[in-house]
Amino acid sequence: MTLLADAPLNDPLAPGLLVTLVLGAAGIGILLPRPKRGPVLAGLLCGVAALVMAGFTVVTPDGPVTPEVVLFYAFAGFAIVGGAMMLIQRSPARAAISFTLVITSTCGLFLLQAAPFLMAATIIIYAGAIIVTFLFVLMMSQQTGYSDADDRTREPFLAAFAGFILLGALLLVLHRAYPSTDRLAELVDDANRAKSRTSTADMFREIGDPKEYLAEVRTEALRHHSSPAYEGMLSAAENLEGALAGPNVNAEDVRRPLGELADAGNAVLAERQRKPLPAGNVAALGTTLFSDYLLAVELGGVLLLVATIGAIAITHRRTEARA
């Protein structure tokens, strides 16, 4: 799966992404609570359409449908739906329950990213303690009937518009920073096979037309400009062009730049690869916390103590001095 896979790099904004953002902003803007509720069905349709379009255009599926893909879609979908539901709820108790849905979906995503301890810690602390505290405070500060706090929102459409412009900017930046590596892998494969051949004719059969190959290598190197090894690719492409431009093209002269190209391409691909996490997440986390981050752990403890004292000090009712 790739992010915005069919948007070319010099396109300002892919049309699918634009439609998704506009529908999302319209849905949120319509559904935010007002004294007289607007067209709820239209807002819901906009929101669902935005989600479906996001599933097809923003996060484009390709490759086999593994359980990881299904779980990612499920957790990500529930997280975003829960977040949107929290925004549009009139009653703050229901908003707290929607936030619990967001927390559990986020914990599912943590589990997909090999962080089981964080999943358990987040569920216990967030869903178990913070939201329960919220519900207690809500219970003590209940409001019945129409109220200013619940039924009015400040500038719903303007806020949704601004927020979704920010989301579009973030998604565009992510698209540029993490381009798909499929084409680069194919080019590196061609270079690897070509450099093991003996004659230039065989080499050219592997890489195809040299000019087109060089142009594609340059394009891919510029797409991956965020990794430092791309300059190695560009210089190898220069050397290859120089070797091919001579009057008599020698196999040795072509093989060396092809080797450099394959090495630089492999370096760029290796940067994109996932590095393995230590197995035994809890043990490794404990070792890291109490050796590398010991000072931060102690400061965290002091912070919790100070927050407890502060919370009690703030809400303490001042009693009159005894006469």
Residues 67-86 interacting with other proteins (rule: CB under 8 A): 68-69, 72, 76, 79-80, 83-84, 86
User: Which of 226, 277, 280, 298 lies at the binding interface for other proteins (CB under 8 A)?
Assistant: 277
Residue whose pair of structure tokens reads 């790099």 in the numeric block: 9
State which of positions 214-273 bind other proteins (CB under 8 A): none
Compute CA distances 228 → 191, 231, 265, 301, whole Å.
Answer: 20, 7, 11, 40
State which of positions 165-224 bind other proteins (CB under 8 A): 166-167, 170-171, 174-175, 177-178
Indicate whether 121 belongs to the interface with other proteins (CB under 8 A).
yes
Structure tokens, 118: 């964080």
Indicate whether 7 belongs to the interface with other proteins (CB under 8 A).
no
Residue type, 317: R
CA 34 – CA 145 distance, rounded (Å): 14
Indicate whether 57 belongs to the interface with other proteins (CB under 8 A).
no
DSSP 207-241: H-SHHHHHHHHHHHHHHTTTSTTHHHHHHHHHHHH
CA atoms within 13 A on the CB side of 188: 19
User: Which of 130, 234, 251, 269 lies at the binding interface for other proteins (CB under 8 A)?
Assistant: 130
User: Which of 137, 215, 222, 270 lies at the binding interface for other proteins (CB under 8 A)?
Assistant: 137
Residue whose pair of structure tokens reads 């069919």 in the numeric block: 6
State which of positions 21-40 bind other proteins (CB under 8 A): 28, 32, 34-36
CA 244 – CA 223 distance, rounded (Å): 24
Residue 98's Cα: distance from chain center in Å? 22
Residue whose pair of structure tokens reads 């061609």 in the numeric block: 190
Indicate whether 96 belongs to the interface with other proteins (CB under 8 A).
yes
Residue type, 106: T
Cβ proximity to other proteins, 45 vs 120, nearer residue: 120
Residue whose pair of structure tokens reads 């050219």 in the numeric block: 204
State which of positions 278-307 bind other proteins (CB under 8 A): 278, 281, 284-285, 288-289, 292-293, 296, 300, 303-304, 306-307
User: Which of 12, 139, 154, 279 lies at the binding interface for other proteins (CB under 8 A)?
Assistant: 154
Question: Smallest distance from the beta carbon of 58 to other proteins, in angstroms?
Answer: 6
Residue 90's Cα: distance from chain center in Å? 29
| Contacting range for other proteins; rule: CB under 8 A; set: 120-128, 210-218, 232-240, 255-263 | 120-128
Question: Smallest distance from the beta carbon of 139 to other proteins, in angstroms?
Answer: 11
Number of residues in contact with other proteins under rule CB under 8 A: 100
Indicate whether 118 belongs to the interface with other proteins (CB under 8 A).
yes
User: Which of 74, 152, 226, 228 lies at the binding interface for other proteins (CB under 8 A)?
Assistant: 152
CA 252 – CA 199 distance, rounded (Å): 9
